[in-house]
Chains A and B, each alone.
Chain A
Amino acid sequence: MHLGLIDYSIICIYFIFVIGIGFFIKRKVKTSNDFLMSNRSIPLWITSLAFISANLGAQEVIGMAASGAKYGIMTSHFYWLGAIPAMLFLGVFMMPFYYGSKARSVPEYLAKRFDEKTRGFNAITFAVMTIFSSGISLYALAMLFQIILGWSFEFSVFLAAGIVLIYTFLGGLTSAVYNEVLQFFLIVLGISPLVFMGIHNAGGWEGVVKNLPEPMVHAWKYMGHANDNAMGVNIWQMAMGLGFVLSFGYWCTDFLVVQRAMIARNMQSAQKTPLIAAFPKMLMPFVVILPGLIAVALQAAHSGYVLPMKPDGITPNYDMALPSLLSHFYPSGILGVGLTALFASFMSGMAGNVTAFNTVWTFDIYQSYFRPNESDKHYLMVGKMATVFGIIASIATAYLAKSFNNIMDFLQLVFGFVNAPLFATFFLGMFWRKTTANGAFWGLLGGTAAAALTHGLTLAEGKGAWIANLHEFQSTMGQNFMIAIMAFCSCFVLTYLISLFTKRKQESDLVGLVYSLTPKPEAAQMAWYRKPITLAVIVLILTFLLNLIFY
């Protein structure tokens, strides 16, 4: 891919803007609350777009196009089934407790609802996970730009890390959120032309469909049996594993996305953040997944476009679907915009992880366990130092990933084990007043162990079965969904049983933390069309229609 002067100019203009945002916001950052929580002052439209943008890193953008090329429109399940319902649940039922409890983070909610050991477990695993995720983003960016532009690994790593460090150190969370919103518009406006051009080149949507295998243009029709579709999953695994456990476990408990709603100006905005975000989220498959289908259709139609192959010369390199389409269709100018969008999404993914890390480190680990009674100025300094540490650790992780790629797969697997049972803990904590601290903690540990056991006793595509091989799944995706189901169920049952026999908090201590013990006067006074549930129902209906159209 050859870049012209105009392409480099657009990339430079973007860098100037993101750094400039950091410098301007710096003047307003005076307290740790300003730096780490934006002083809970962000308008609804910004929190809504940042909410989906925080999950729109380049690994998602590149990965979704790759999945689109490999699995077809079934990839939309990650949005229409694997995101929307959970986002609606978060907004309608869970945000009142996250926001109303005045918790500054998800682990802090766990401390208030349960105890310090549950908070500590969640905080430490989350902190480690975000740093590794940030480093993996950096590694993926450097590898991609090495392939498509010939930039050295070191140049990409230090350029991206340096720019993210500047604007997050100066402006904190607000700076990261602003850039996420800018990134959202860049991705939509930078990649949408590609979709239009690709569909036009393929002969319209009918031309795309004509040149794709039948299962690739249906989301649900071939899910009766795992053998019938390329994903290797059946409808039950998809609905329960992705649609319920993994989806709710991520969208309802991961502090990286929940933080974007927690910094809203008031309760109503906090509740509406994921609900408003659901509207553009519904449409994102048309921007990020369609390019993958278009790539396969264009190749099948012998249009002159060819999907790049892996070094073995046999396997298509689906990860290169989007970059190769950019190179094929975009002239210099809009090419610079497309690449800036990719760069922006990598950097925002990194910035989002680092800002989530520095909040959890400062409030949930440092303030809770090391120096609890320091001045706010001290915690502001700690937050800034945590930002620097987060960036340095991300760079180190990127190099680790370069040297030991399997370690990254292993770490992601372990974090998957830890994440899988989380929703059971939160669900029981928020909606069953009798859930105890010991029930929550040991349930979490038990759920994590169940996840590891399931992986150790089952095989999929040569992975797992390190204890014994009791069952073989069609695909690793099917295995991951079953791991999530087992972890959730184990955590749920263990938490319930242990709670029955252990001491619980006084109900007076649980007001604002548990649904049944929290008065809801605001909701009662609102007109029906202003209630969050009304917005949620509208989104659900639209999502259902989309699933029907692409059945």
Chain B
Amino acid sequence: MKNMLDLRFVIGAFFLIVGILLLGSSFMVHFTKENGTTVNRDCGVVFILFSLIMLAMWKWGTKPTEEA
């Protein structure tokens, strides 16, 4: 089992949760600003992509990081 204290996992998990929250909230119309910006959707997608990159680096990283 990979080290879950690896900071890549922690960062990935955090932004995955926040990204899902943002993406989910973007489907609720009253969360968008009046001018129709869909920044929550766009940021949610970016956060999720970023988190997947971090989690991939955690899972398939060449060396497990020694986290103290």
Contact = CB atoms under 8 A, between A and B. Distances in A.
B15 A185 contact: yes
A333 B14 CA distance: 15
Interface string A36-68: 001101110010000000000000000000000
A449 B7 CA distance: 45
A38 B21 contact: no
A181 B44 CA distance: 20
Nearest to A181: B7
Contacts of A396: none
A428 B28 CA distance: 63
Closest 8 CB pairs of A and B: A333-B40, A174-B68, A333-B25, A28-B68, A331-B33, A24-B5, A43-B65, A333-B22
A13 B47 contact: no
B37 to A, nearest CB: 7
Contact of B37 (A14, A185, A331, A337): A331
A17 B50 CA distance: 17
Nearest to A34: B68
A201 to B, nearest CB: 9
A181 B7 CA distance: 9
Kindly name the residue among A29, A46, A171, A189 whose own CB sees the greatest number of chain B CB atoms within 10 A.
Answer: A189
A189 B33 CA distance: 19
B68 A333 contact: no
Contact of A334 (B17, B39, B66): B39
Given A182-B11, A330-B39, A331-B39, A43 B66 contact: yes
Kindly name the residue among A4, A182, A331, A332 whose own CB sees the greatest number of chain B CB atoms within 10 A.
Answer: A331
Contacts of A10: 18, 21
A182 B14 contact: yes
A219 to B, nearest CB: 30
Q: DSSP majority for the B interface?
A: helix
22 contacts: A4-B31, A10-B18, A10-B21, A13-B17, A17-B10, A17-B14, A24-B5, A25-B67, A25-B68, A41-B66, A42-B68, A43-B65, A178-B10, A181-B11, A182-B10, A185-B11, A189-B43, A331-B32, A331-B40, A333-B25, A333-B31, A334-B40
Interface string A492-530: 000000000000000000000000000000000000000
Interface string A10-27: 100110010001001100
A17 B13 CA distance: 9
A21 B46 contact: no
Nearest to A14: B14
Interface size class of B (residues with CB under 8 A): 20 to 34
A548 interface: no
A17 B11 CA distance: 9
Interface string B1-40: 0001101001101110110011001100001110001011
Contacts of A189: 15, 43, 46-47, 50
A193 B14 contact: no
B31 A6 contact: yes
Contacts of B46: 189
Contacts of A13: 14, 17-18, 21
A41 B3 CA distance: 15
Interface in A322-337: 329-334, 337
Contacts of B50: 185, 189
Kindly name the residue among B37, B65, B67 whose own CB sees the greatest number of chain A CB atoms within 10 A.
Answer: B67
A38 B68 contact: yes
Contacts of B11: 181-182, 185
A41 B66 CA distance: 7
Given A38-B68, A41-B66, A337 B33 contact: no
B45 to A, nearest CB: 12
B10 A333 contact: no
A227 interface: no
A171 B7 CA distance: 14
Nearest to B5: A24
B9 to A, nearest CB: 11
A256 B13 CA distance: 28
A332 B39 contact: no
A405 interface: no
Contact of B43 (A34, A181, A334): A334
A24 B6 CA distance: 11
A343 to B, nearest CB: 14
A280 to B, nearest CB: 15
Contacts of A9: 21
A197 interface: yes
Given A25-B68, A332-B25, 10 more contacts: A6-B21, A24-B5, A28-B68, A46-B7, A178-B67, A189-B50, A193-B39, A265-B66, A329-B39, A331-B31
A230 B39 CA distance: 35
Interface in B33-61: 33, 37, 39-40, 42-44, 46-47, 50
Interface string A81-106: 00000000000000000000000000
B43 A193 contact: yes
B42 to A, nearest CB: 7
Interface string A200-215: 0000000000000000
